[in-house]
């Protein structure tokens, strides 16, 4: 099964993608994590990409496409962080067709902008790993300290209020049209992302199973008609 997960940055895409990947036993591919890891080496390109991300801007389509091409394989996955523009969605269709791995379903999580701003600006990360905390929602046991390693928690440069607002503006302008694109093709599942994390996951899984069942029945009916 090949899935996409859509939603503004801060809607809980990463958390939900991880839970869904675990539930179905598929790979979780996060282009954000990939970029953050790849941009550590100190090359000119890496610095340029880092500047874009830190400002809340999008990485150019061409570069994103070459990255996605590299990390997408034919097996089962949930892709998180891509596509972000209509052009990327069209290109992804082409890549998947070429690789013979069409996307089965796009999952969309929608959260009001104000909630997103509160979520992201309160986020604190451990400098030694991927551990993440939130000053309101998942505070560390000791203020400013990672529960696992005692490292001093920091805010990512791309998590400030002005960067989040900038990212939301870009999201509304450039990413929202993708949701309509998948909706018109009949493979979009949409759910609210506010509330209990486990309930949202279960909701997505139920919607996904129902939609996959309908798609399977439709396919069988069409086969029957052709016979
Ligand atoms: Zn830590």
- Which residues hold their Cβ within 5 A of ligand 1, which is an ion? 126, 128, 131, 146, 148-149, 151
What's the DSSP call for residue 125?
E
Q: Looking at the predicted structure, is the pLDDT value of residue 161 above 70?
A: yes
Number of domains in the chain: 1
Range of the domain at 188: 2-226
Whether 156 is catalytic is: yes
CATH number of the domain at 7, please: 3.40.50.300
Q: What share of the chain is helix, strand, coil (3-state, %, to 5)?
A: 55, 15, 30
Of 52, 45, 3, 51, which is closest to residue 23 (Cα–Cα)? 3
Q: Are 161 and 118 in contact (CB under 8 A)?
A: no
- In 71-157, DSSP assigns E strands to 77-80, 105-110, 123-125, 132-134
- Kindly report the average pLDDT of the chain as a whole number: 88
Catalytic residue among 27, 36, 55, 156: 156
CA angle, residues 200, 114, 178, in degrees to nearest 5: 65
Task: State pLDDT tens for residues 194-214.
Answer: 989 999 999 999 999 999 888
| Rounded distance between C-alpha atoms, residue 189 and residue 202, angstroms | 13
Whether 13 is catalytic is: yes
| pTM of the entire predicted model | 0.79
Rounded distance from Cα 139 to ligand 1 centre (Å): 13
Task: State pLDDT tens for residues 10-50.
Answer: 898 999 999 999 999 998 988 877 777 766 666 777 777 77
Q: Are 24 and 76 in contact (CB under 8 A)?
A: yes
């Amino acid at each position: 099964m090949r899935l996409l997960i859509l939603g503004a940055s801060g809607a809980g895409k990463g958390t939900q993608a991880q839970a869904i990947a675990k539930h179905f036993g598929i790979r979780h591919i996060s282009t954000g994590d990939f970029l953050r890891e790849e941009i550590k080496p100190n090359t000119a390109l890496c610095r340029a990409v880092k500047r874009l991300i830190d400002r809340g801007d999008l990485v150019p389509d061409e570069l994103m496409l070459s990255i996605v091409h590299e990390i997408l394989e034919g097996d089962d996955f949930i892709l998180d962080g891509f596509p972000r523009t209509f052009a990327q969605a069209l290109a992804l269709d082409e890549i998947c067709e070429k690789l013979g791995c069409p996307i089965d379903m796009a999952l969309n999580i929608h959260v009001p902008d104000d909630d997103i701003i509160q979520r992201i600006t309160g986020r604190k990360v451990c400098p030694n790993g991927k551990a993440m905390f939130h000053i309101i929602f998942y505070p560390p046991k000791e203020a400013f300290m990672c529960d696992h390693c005692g490292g001093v928690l920091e805010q990512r440069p791309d998590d400030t209020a002005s960067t989040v607002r900038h990212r939301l503006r870009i999201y509304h302008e450039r990413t929202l049209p993708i949701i309509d694109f998948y909706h018109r093709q009949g493979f979009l599942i949409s759910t609210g992302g506010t509330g209990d994390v486990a309930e949202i996951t279960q909701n997505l899984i139920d919607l996904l199973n129902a939609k996959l069942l309908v798609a399977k029945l439709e396919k069988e009916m069409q086969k029957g008609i052709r016979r």
